[in-house]
Amino acid sequence: DQAETVLLGLSRGSGAASLAGMAPATVDDDVTWRRPLLGVRRATTRAACAADGLRPWDDPHNTDPAFARVRVRRAVLPVLEAELGPGIAEALARTAEQLREDAAAFAEMIEETIEDIVEPAEAGIAVSVAALAANPPALRHRIIRHVVASEFHVGLTRTQTLEVARLVTDWSGQGPIDLPGCRARRAGGKIEFTASGSGI
């Protein structure tokens, strides 16, 4: 599952959060979902079930080629294993684990930083240009995406994020940028994000 998730993310040009795959445990609406067998190969799980006299249930979606995940599992991964050698799935799973660690570190850094550089603005929120400029691009871009997602509940594409970042790093008087659910503009020493249709 992890290998398929990483390959699909790579094919779509996804960021680190998507390439990090599924976590062993996630919390959704105060419900914790655990995946204790996530790192175990299917063959190992089946062998353990057979040894204990258990009959595993097969999800029919796992064999339906209408799903890209199934095509990756049945067609792409075997080719990669044949051409590059065994262990591709495990290597991709390790990559996902490392990216989850990186994402967790960035999330912690953002939480530590965000309160000092963000302030309310009329019909939205503002972020200090100097503070954004002082951060490396990877953190700057994550802060921009975090602010927009937290305030307006929408996600930005990489292209949209880079356009907002240009208001910080390549400022030449350009006007506001229309984004999903909001608009970004540079006003003095701040990048202001305001709700779409606010007239500001």
The low-confidence residues of the chain, meaning pLDDT below 70, are: 17-18, 197-200
pTM more than 0.75: no
- What region, left, alpha or beta, does residue 180 occupy, with left being phi > 0 and alpha being psi -120 to 50 degrees? beta
For residue 198, how far is the Cα from the chain centroid?
29
> Which residue segments constitute the domains of the chain, with CATH numbers given?
2-105 (3.40.50.620), 122-195 (3.30.465.60)
Structure confidence by residue, pLDDT tens digits, 174-199: 999 999 999 999 998 999 999 986 55
Please give the C-alpha separations between residue 93 and each of 22, 27, 44, 109, 162, in angstroms, as whole numbers: 10, 21, 16, 25, 29
- Give bridge partners of residue 125 from the DSSP assignment: 120, 193
Please give the DSSP secondary-structure letter assigned to residue 156.
-
